[in-house]
Amino acid sequence: MSETWLKENSALLDYVALSGYTAIFNSRDTIRGGGVGAYISNSINFKRRKDIENLETDFEHLGFEFPGRNKYSKALIGVIYRSERMLSCNDWLDRFESLLGQVSLDWDGLLYLTGDVNIDTLNSSQGL
């Protein structure tokens, strides 16, 4: 999920909890809006990858590793959000490219990225 608008408030996080799921959120501390989150079934084995989240702290994202039967079926899933108010499109893309480069050096499984990056790919002025 992207743009969760949640704060690190235990009462609020308890309110959005779903039975049978682990809820994980990365919320903004200083300004309103944004944030990312995920609900993962309690029946699914996973590991939160805070090491990946710590590689780039200027945008909102989460990383999860799901084991597979072999290295070709394990998966790394990322949830990402880019606010138009935070980093410019080009700055965000530079940092995102750097993050992907660092992740790809150590990861040899499947990689899935989800979220909202607020980039209009049909608008040529965004430098894509």
Is residue 99 situated within a structural domain?
yes
Is residue 1 situated within a structural domain?
no
Is residue 122 situated within a structural domain?
no
HEC secondary structure over 59-87: CEEEEEEECCCCCCCCEEEEEEECCCCCC
Is residue 69 situated within a structural domain?
yes
Is residue 61 situated within a structural domain?
yes
Contact 77, 42 (CB under 8 A): no
What is the reported pLDDT for 112? 95
Is residue 127 situated within a structural domain?
no
Q: How far apart are the C-alpha atoms of 54 and 63, rounded to whole Å?
A: 10
What is the reported pLDDT for 113? 93
pLDDT in tens, the chain (128 residues): 777 767 776 677 777 889 999 988 887 777 677 788 899 999 999 999 999 999 888 788 999 999 998 878 999 999 998 888 778 888 989 999 999 999 999 898 999 999 998 888 887 665 55
What domain count does the chain have? 1
Single-letter amino acid, residue 44: I
Is residue 108 situated within a structural domain?
yes
Give the range of the structural domain holding residue 29, as residue numbers without chain letter.
10-116
